[in-house]
Amino acid sequence: DQQVKQNSPSLSVQEGRISILNCDYTNSMFDYFLWYKKYPAEGPTFLISISSIKDKNEDGRFTVFLNKSAKHLSLHIVPSQPGDSAVYFCAASSGGGADGLTFGKGTHLIIQP
């Protein structure tokens, strides 16, 4: 059973508008969440993270929101730029963190000019 779900395989957004990528999780032990961005033929690169003691974290154009009661997080990108076109993975960890990250299947974001 998938513990981290990204239900939109792809999302198309116009340049300059807001991109909102969603992620749901089922494991209530998850307490640290991350977003990674991946271009074709490259490894994922870290974008932004949030601890379960917070409900929002911002870094420049990127904001992650966490709703613990709904087991839902979202990544907002404002304004969207052509270089944001990539696959975005939501990931989560629990406990000490040594046993790695649990990833969603990813959402392919396409920024239209």
Partner 1 sequence: NAGVTQTPKFQVLKTGQSMTLQCAQDMNHEYMSWYRQDPGMGLRLIHYSVGAGITDQGEVPNGYNVSRSTTEDFPLRLLSAAPSQTSVYFCASSPRWYKGYEQYFGPGTRLTVT
| CB neighbour list of residue 76: distance below 8 Å, 6 or more residues apart | 18, 19, 20, 62, 63, 64, 65
Residue 18 CA, distance from chain mean position: 14
Residue 4 Cβ vs partner 1, minimum distance, rounded to whole Å: 7
Of 60, 83, 96, 113, the one binding partner 1 (CB under 8 A) is 96
Residue 112 Cβ vs partner 1, minimum distance, rounded to whole Å: 23
Question: Within positions 24 to 83, which residues make up the interface with partner 1, using CB under 8 A?
Answer: 32, 34, 36, 41-46, 49, 51
| CB neighbour list of residue 104: distance below 8 Å, 6 or more residues apart | 2, 4, 5, 6, 23, 89, 90, 91
Q: Which amino acid is at 111?
A: I
Nearer to partner 1 by Cβ, of 53 and 113: the residue is: 53
- Interface residues with partner 1 (CB under 8 A) are 4, 6, 9, 32, 34, 36, 41-46, 49, 51, 89, 91, 93, 96-106
